[in-house]
Amino acid sequence: MYPRLEVNIQKIKENTKLLVEKCRKENIEVAAVTKVYCALPEVVEALEDTGIKYIADSRIQNLKKLKHINLPKVLLRIPMMSEIEELVQYVDISLNSEIEVIKKIDQEARKINKVQNIALMVDLGDLREGYFKEEELFECVSQVLNLKNINLIGLGTNLTCYGAIIPSRENTQRLASLSREIENRFNIKLSFVSGGNSSSLHLIDKEDMPKEITNLRLGEAIALGRETAYGDKIKGAHQDAFKLVCEIVELKEKPSLPIGEIGMDAFGNKPVYEDRGIRKRAIIGIGKQDINVCGIIPLDTKIDILGASSDHLILDVTESDIEYKVGDKVEFNLEYGGLMAAATSEYVTKIFV
Ligand SMILES: *Cc1c(COP(=O)(O)O)cnc(C)c1O
């Protein structure tokens, strides 16, 4: 069945082991982030014996599918008030930034006789989730310590997401110092100081990682073998563990300029075209409902992606050395957005190789 997402589990495993080893040298434990491939159980099961210490995902639905996996589950997205009943059943550690939500977790955990682990998020300037003002963070800690069914295990931060801020020794040190200060002020021990995601790996290479950091949450680095501060390939890691394979449904020579008055395309945009004369165009059976056109790269480097509608992707194959025919397959490497969409689409078959 096409289109299909081919997943090379061995390559993902090798990437994971490489990163676990890199982090272990800094006394950092790895939480493997599974959201970009929708926590495909076949993949996550293979990661169990790679040395990772946690499974992390942004969605409870995904963690629910992984109940049989014998590793603590971290919920990455700060929880909705409406999902706390499920959270206490399927999540071992949640990342939090609102005291009302934490109080609700405390209540729900009490109902099932559980003590729920939480870490508090600190915003170091990326301006997504987390406490921005230190006084508010300390105030939250003092309230949390009164909640009987909550165990505060540490702090976390997230960078290079909304604000695209690059982790540095300075901003990461702020998280490290805050954890120290909370330990001293409240006389507690914080064992989980989660310093960031795949964009923090470069700090290890530069020997800029503060020693208080005990955890990193790695998604893209594991799945696509890239660090995400600069987009560099990680040495020794595979960038092609995932491959998208699609089928040609039409192949014809056509002009490069549409004929007639130009209105709006299927998505309400007014397109601009360049006249390149008559070109050989292939249509493949995949579209914007399944993929992010910007996140896919043809393995045949002489193919140009012209555009897509919901269900059709149009390629210019004029320059290719391959004589394509209808029914032939075209392969793509994936970037983060391309992988995320292909993994999420139920119209894309998943195959494990
Ligand atoms: C998605 C996510 C990660 C993983 O990010 P990568 O760049 O894929 O490593 C880590 N932490 C949080 C909170 C996330 O939402």
* Rounded Cα–Cα distance for residues 305 and 294 (Å): 9
Q: Beta 313-316 vs 242-255: how paired, if at all? A: unpaired
Atom of ligand 1 at shortest distance to CA of 336? 8
Whether residues 119 and 26 share a domain: the answer is: yes
- Check pLDDT > 90 for residue 104: yes
- Check pLDDT > 90 for residue 267: no
- The band of 264, judged by pLDDT with boundaries at 50, 70 and 90, is confident
- Check pLDDT > 90 for residue 316: yes
- Check pLDDT > 90 for residue 269: no
Token pair recorded at residue 248: 């040609």
* Rounded Cα–Cα distance for residues 132 and 279 (Å): 54
Got the DSSP string for 90-116?
H-SEEEE--HHHHHHHHHHHHHTT--E
pLDDT score recorded for residue 272: 86
Atom of ligand 1 at shortest distance to CA of 218? 9
Whether residues 278 and 177 share a domain: the answer is: no
Q: In this structure, which amino acid lies at residue 194?
A: S
Q: Is the pTM of this model over 0.85?
A: yes
Task: Give the pLDDT confidence of 289-302 residue by residue, as tens digits.
Answer: 999 999 999 999 99
pLDDT score recorded for residue 178: 98
Whether residues 297 and 324 share a domain: the answer is: yes
Which residue's C-alpha comes closest to atom 12 of ligand 1?
76
* Rounded Cα–Cα distance for residues 113 and 317 (Å): 62
Which residue's C-alpha comes closest to atom 13 of ligand 1?
76
67 located within any domain: yes
Q: Among 33, 54, 94, 175, name the best residue to mutate to test ligand 1's pocket (greatest count of ligand atoms within 8 A of Cβ).
A: 33
Contact between 300 and 320 under an 8 Å Cβ cutoff? The reply is: yes
Of 11, 35, 73, 104, catalytic: 35
pLDDT score recorded for residue 268: 85
> 336 C-alpha vs ligand 1 centroid, how far in Å?
11
- What would the mean pLDDT of 172-193 be, rounded to a whole number? 98
Whether residues 346 and 308 share a domain: the answer is: yes
Token pair recorded at residue 81: 């008030």
236 located within any domain: no
Token pair recorded at residue 119: 């870490």
* Rounded Cα–Cα distance for residues 4 and 130 (Å): 38
Task: Give the pLDDT confidence of 112-154 residue by residue, as tens digits.
Answer: 999 999 999 999 999 999 999 999 999 999 999 999 999 999 9
| Pocket (CB within 6 angstroms of ligand 1) | 33, 35, 58, 76, 158, 197-198, 217-221, 228
* Rounded Cα–Cα distance for residues 283 and 342 (Å): 18
Candidates 221, 224, 220; CA nearest to 239 is 224
> Residue 201, exposed/middle/buried by CB under 10 A (0-12, 13-18, 19+)?
buried
Number of domains in the chain: 2
Structural domain range at position 304: 242-352
Whether residues 289 and 342 share a domain: the answer is: yes
- What would the mean pLDDT of 14-36 be, rounded to a whole number? 98
Whether residues 211 and 309 share a domain: the answer is: no
- The band of 57, judged by pLDDT with boundaries at 50, 70 and 90, is very high
- Check pLDDT > 90 for residue 348: yes
211 located within any domain: yes
Whether residues 249 and 199 share a domain: the answer is: no
Q: What is the CATH number of the domain that holds 323?
A: 2.40.37.10
* Rounded Cα–Cα distance for residues 140 and 146 (Å): 10
pLDDT score recorded for residue 224: 98
| CA Rg value for the chain | 23
Candidates 58, 183, 215, 44; CA nearest to 128 is 58
Percent of the chain at pLDDT exceeding 90: 94
252 classed as catalytic: no
- Check pLDDT > 90 for residue 263: no
Task: Give the pLDDT confidence of 64-78 residue by residue, as tens digits.
Answer: 999 999 999 999 999
Task: Give the pLDDT confidence of 184-217 residue by residue, as tens digits.
Answer: 999 999 999 999 999 999 999 999 999 999 999 9
Q: What is the mean pLDDT of the chain?
A: 97
Domain boundary among 163, 193, 224: 224
Candidates 215, 168, 220, 257; CA nearest to 334 is 220
Whether residues 261 and 165 share a domain: the answer is: no
Q: In this structure, which amino acid lies at residue 237?
A: A
Token pair recorded at residue 298: 């043809």
- What would the mean pLDDT of 223-251 be, rounded to a whole number? 98
257 located within any domain: yes
Whether residues 54 and 165 share a domain: the answer is: yes
Q: What are the angstrom distances between the C-alpha of 270 and each of 262, 265, 267, 311, 325?
A: 7, 6, 9, 19, 31
Q: Beta 54-57 vs 93-96: how paired, if at all? A: unpaired
Q: What is the CATH number of the domain that holds 211?
A: 3.20.20.10
* Rounded Cα–Cα distance for residues 33 and 56 (Å): 5
> 197 C-alpha vs ligand 1 centroid, how far in Å?
5
* Rounded Cα–Cα distance for residues 123 and 353 (Å): 40
Got the DSSP string for 218-249?
ESHHHHHSB-SSS-PBPTT--S-SEEEEEEEE
Helix (H, G, I), strand (E, B) or coil at 244: strand
